[in-house]
């Protein structure tokens, strides 16, 4: 059993993981907005998946875990919780994000170290009128299998994202900003109430 302590006493540190590689990604912009809305006592470390290769079991057997994956594992372990910002592609999860989660669960013992009992929340932004509801639904069995403690609070699915963010990626809709701020604070309260004490 390895104890997990908050890296900054009294502060909740969240790893915000964007599931899109696009330079002007709505989901990366969603995490950028979240960084500014958490308030005192909440810090969000935002990261993208650039540099994570496609999972290949032969590569893993011959060369081990890629450094980019090990670096991402270290950033997750340095945080108290995980916030996933997922796009929705073809009514489901994006392959680049599923690929990263698959790498993070390798070797098998690391699935427990990285994910088991870790507080997790999923948000998402899409230009469609339905937000990312189907993508978020598709993630439920994945994170349940990995043993994450997924927050059952309000879900945040930003629809018509092309009207919510300007060309520079700034969130311009005050109602959505308020919803996002409340979501981040609610998730942080969930983490404070039931922090990760240990991993099997």
User: Does some domain include residue 32?
Assistant: yes
Task: Give pTM, 2 decimals.
Answer: 0.91
Contacts 24+ apart (CB under 8 A), 113-116: 113/2, 113/77, 113/199, 114/73, 114/76, 114/77, 115/143, 115/146, 115/147, 115/148, 116/146, 116/147, 116/148, 116/199, 116/200
- Give how many domains the chain has, as a whole number: 1
Q: What is the pLDDT of residues 130-173, one digit of tens each?
A: 899 999 999 999 999 999 999 987 789 999 999 999 999 999 99
CATH number of the CATH domain containing 47: 3.40.50.360
Q: Is residue 147 part of a domain?
A: yes
Mean per-residue pLDDT of the chain:
92
Asked, for residue 199, whether it belongs to a domain, the answer is no
Q: Is the pLDDT of residue 184 over 90?
A: yes
Structural domain of 124:
2-193
User: What pLDDT was estimated at residue 6?
Assistant: 46
| pLDDT, tens only, 55-91 | 999 999 999 999 999 999 999 999 999 999 999 999 9
pLDDT reported for residue 197? 55
Q: Is residue 198 part of a domain?
A: no
Q: What is the pLDDT of residue 1?
A: 32
């Amino acid at each position: 059993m390895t104890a997990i302590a908050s890296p900054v006493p009294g502060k909740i540190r969240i790893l915000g993981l964007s599931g899109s590689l696009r330079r002007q990604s709505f989901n990366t912009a969603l995490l950028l907005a979240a960084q500014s809305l958490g308030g005192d006592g909440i810090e969000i470390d935002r990261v993208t998946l650039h540099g994570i290769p496609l999972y290949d079991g032969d590569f893993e057997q011959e060369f081990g875990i890629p450094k980019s994956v090990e670096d991402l594992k270290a950033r997750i372990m340095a945080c108290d919780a995980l916030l996933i910002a997922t796009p929705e592609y073809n009514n489901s999860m994006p392959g680049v994000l599923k690929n990263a989660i698959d790498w993070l669960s390798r070797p098998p013992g690391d699935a427990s170290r990285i994910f088991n009992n870790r507080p997790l929340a999923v948000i998402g932004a899409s230009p469609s009128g339905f937000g990312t509801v189907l993508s978020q639904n598709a993630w439920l069995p994945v994170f349940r299998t990995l043993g994450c403690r997924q927050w059952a609070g309000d879900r945040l699915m930003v629809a018509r994202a092309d009207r919510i963010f300007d060309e520079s990626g700034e969130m311009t809709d005050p109602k959505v900003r308020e919803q996002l701020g409340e979501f981040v604070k609610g998730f942080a309260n969930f983490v404070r109430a039931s922090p990760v004490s240990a991993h099997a």
